[in-house]
Amino acid sequence: MKRALIAGFVASALAFPAAAALKPGKKAPDFTAEGYQAGKPINFSLAEARKKGPVVVYFFPAAETAGCNLEARLFAEATDEFKANGATVIGVTSGNLDKLAAFSADTEKCSGKFPVAADPGAKIAKQYDATLAVRPGWSSRTSYVISPSGEVLLAYDNLSPNDHVSQTMAAVKAYKANK
């Protein structure tokens, strides 16, 4: 019985992550981070990426986990459409950092289409209020669209990986339509 109660509590906590603190219209913190694209080390700068257009910053809990693998594949499949709309995509995680290089290159996941940044200790995720309530050292599944001026255009927080691409794509297209 006790085990069932604990499992129910954990499932509830995972189903309802904290709402993203950075609301549309707020300034997004710039960050730089080391990471990988197509298995090769990169340094990512949000300030530099914003010079090219809007940036989709999607936080995910951990490389090589079922939901994160699916989300990475969905973002990889949509990368060309994001680029066609002037947007850059970056994945950021605090979990399973030792697997990030392979994850970035795997054709079933990122396919080398976009960079994934390592966030040891969830320092970047904390600035974006994107940490898991049940595991604060890991990123939550929260996606942001950041304008070239650094304004948050969208904050979407949902542990399910299914709608992050459609939500961020809609925000990128709305931004483009209004420019």
Closest CA to 168 of 150, 144, 152, 151: 144
146 burial class (0-12, 13-18, 19+ CB within 10 angstroms)?
buried
The pLDDT of residue 128:
96
The pLDDT of residue 20:
52
Over residues 132-177, the pLDDT tens digits come to 888 888 999 999 999 999 999 999 999 999 999 999 999 999 999 9
The pLDDT of residue 4:
36
The pLDDT of residue 136:
81
The pLDDT of residue 179:
84
Residue ranges, the chain, pLDDT below 70: 1-20
Of 55, 56, 62, 68, the catalytic one is 68
Is 110 an active-site residue? no
